[in-house]
Amino acid sequence: MTKYQHALALNPYFGGSTAAMGVFPPTGLEYIAASMKGLVGQVTLLDLRYERSCQNPQALSRFIRSGVDLVCITIGWQSRFRAVCDFVAQLPPEVTTVVGGYHATLEVETVFERCPNVDMVVRGEGEEIIKQVVTGVPREEIRGLSWRRNGAIVHNENQVLPDLAQIAFPDRSLRGHDYYWSQHGVRLSRHTFDTVLTTRGCPFKCKFCTFSLNPLGQKREYTERPIESVIEELKTVTADVVLFSDDNIFTNLKRAEQLCDLIIANNIRKTFVVQARIDVARHRRLLDKLWLAGFRVFLIGVESPHDRILTQLQKGITQQQIREAFAVLSEYDFYLHGYFIYGNIGESEEEMLYIPTFAKELKLDSISFQKLRIEKFSPLKEVVETTPGYHYDREGGPVYSDRYGLKELKRIRNRIRSRFYDAGQLFRIAKKAGRIGLASGGDFGVALPHLPVLLYRIATRKGHTRKHAVTA
């Protein structure tokens, strides 16, 4: 007998936050919904960014009480964390409620404290855990689960990370709408967006990065999905623009070529966005295939123009290697977006302000730049703590120094932006976006001023996707 007759998978974010931007679906939640299919009577997926009628907790509660007996909620963002918890706390306490997501894993105790109606919190990757929950496995036997017992919170031991080949990809038939680029409720482009994850984990060990760690500090080793499964998923995607959420889809070059070949053979016509390392520039045959298969936007972590800082970050590349790589990439008509970090340890204002100059020398189309941040399990944490004059206020927050406080860093950020995004650069973006199909004539007036912001949001989304694409 089925334990639950109607499961609701709920993305509770809406309103004016980064998390509420409607470009991409709630990927992690969709993995959870797909994992429950066939094990419960019915699965409903609700994304409150689009479901305006349910943004009021009273209205949502009425829907839940109409027949839902299991609610699965994702809390993936630090942004609006407490407000989301307060929203969740107003949902029916009599209905079994499970919460997961990257930030829920970091703040398990807070979730239970602020949400008395939450029965369980899934920690880390959630597909196998939710299967055990809905099939009636006793809670004390489910690894990776935190739950209430007689008023106390019980934390079971961490789970063993699940086999990627056994995880069902998202079922897009559960969606009630497409995903598109919008800002403040205004649709900015006719394109629709989606994400596909073909691998998890990363083999590299950049010192600033914790993307290959889950919020429990477990390292997800580089693991590949069967390529046939990726193609089957792509066949279900109706969106125009698809973001591959992999840390680096080109880690296995032979597999990347095979993916291109199969995309072409199956006549899958999309505009693909990928994150890559500069290493891909050494493989021209792959670059040729990527163009033919529809890969158009490359999001590349440059991080710094300075060899000293690249070494400090353990990036494993030099400024000269960066220049050589972009000399090759700029021969193609790819849209090239670079990520940079400023406010690094020992970095002067002059060095930070070289970022826009260097980016233009590389012929980057757009850039995003973030202050150095310290995550919970970052190897940089100890370095910052032992370097006189450097500080951070919280895990996940920015690093600042006695010389460059947050106010000074904001001023430097604004100067980086204005030096790069001048009229000439915006014109270059417009030409490239139109040429490769990122924007059409009707989109230019409204959308193009926001394109750098979109790419920054993609960068932010990718960061969270990599960390928790598969949590509840």
At residue 353, the pLDDT reads: 98
Residue with tokens 């690249």: 310
Q: Region 405-425: what's the mean pLDDT?
A: 96
Phi-psi region for residue 160, left (φ > 0), alpha (ψ -120 to 50) or beta? beta
pLDDT of residue 376: 72
Q: Tell me which residue of 309, 305, 198 sits closest to 259, measured CA to CA.
A: 198
Burial class (CB in 10 A: 0-12, 13-18, 19+), 246: buried
CA distance 395 to 401: 16
Domain span(s) for CATH 3.80.30.20 in the chain: 178-468
Is the pLDDT confidence value at 354 over 50?
yes
Q: Is the pLDDT of residue 212 over 70?
A: no
Q: Within 10 Å of residue 82's Cβ, how many Cβ atoms?
A: 11
* pLDDT tens, position by position, 26-56: 999 999 999 999 999 999 999 998 888 999 9
- CATH 3.40.50: which residues of the chain? 6-164
- pTM of the shown model: 0.87
Is residue 205 predicted with pLDDT exceeding 90? no
Q: How far apart are CA 289 and CA 325, in angstroms?
A: 17
Q: Does position 419 have pLDDT exceeding 70, yes or no?
A: yes
- pLDDT category of residue 341 using cuts at 50, 70 and 90: very high
The pair phi, psi for residue 192, each rounded to 5°, is: -110, 155
Q: Which residue has the higher pLDDT, 247 or 266?
A: 266
Residues in the chain: 472
> Which residues on neighbouring strands pair with residue 378, listed in sequence order?
none
Q: How high is the pLDDT of residue 402? A: 97
pLDDT of residue 440: 62
Q: Read off the pLDDT of residues 59-97 as tens digits, 9 standing for 90 and up.
A: 999 999 999 999 999 998 888 899 999 999 999 999 999
Query: What is the overall mean pLDDT for the chain?
Result: 87
Per-residue pLDDT at 203? 61
pLDDT of 471 reads: 36
Is pLDDT above 90 for 467?
no
- CB–CB of 470/31 below 8 Å? yes
Decide if pLDDT at 141 tops 90. Answer: yes
CATH superfamily of 178-468: tm_1862 like domain (3.80.30.20)
Mean local confidence (pLDDT), 392-397: 85
Q: Where is 96: in which H helix or E strand?
A: strand 96-100
DSSP assignment letter at 37 = B
Q: How many C-alpha atoms does 344 have within 13 Å on its Cβ side?
A: 24
Looking at residue 448, its pLDDT comes to 56
* Beta bridge mates, 97: 71
Q: What is the pLDDT of residue 466?
A: 35
Amino acid sitting at position 217: G
In percent, the amount of the chain with pLDDT more than 90 equals 66
Does residue 360 carry a pLDDT above 90?
yes
Quick: pLDDT tens for 153-200. Answer: 999 999 887 777 788 999 999 998 899 877 666 777 788 999 999 987
Percent of the chain topping pLDDT 70: 86
Q: What residue has token string 């407000």?
A: 83
| Whole-number Å distance between alpha carbons of 8 and 17 | 23
The CATH class given to the 6-164 domain equals alpha beta
Q: What is the pLDDT of residues 221-230, one digit of tens each?
A: 778 889 999 9
What's the pLDDT score for residue 397? 86
User: How many CB atoms lie under 10 A from the CB of residue 447?
Assistant: 23
- 438 band by pLDDT with thresholds 50, 70 and 90: confident
pLDDT for position 465: 37
Residue 21's pLDDT band, with cuts at 50, 70 and 90, is low
Query: Which pLDDT score is estimated for 213?
Result: 53
Confidence of residue 442 (pLDDT cuts 50, 70, 90): low
* Of 11-25, 108-122, 255-269, minimum mean pLDDT range: 11-25
Does 410 score more than 90 pLDDT? yes
pLDDT value at 332 more than 70: yes
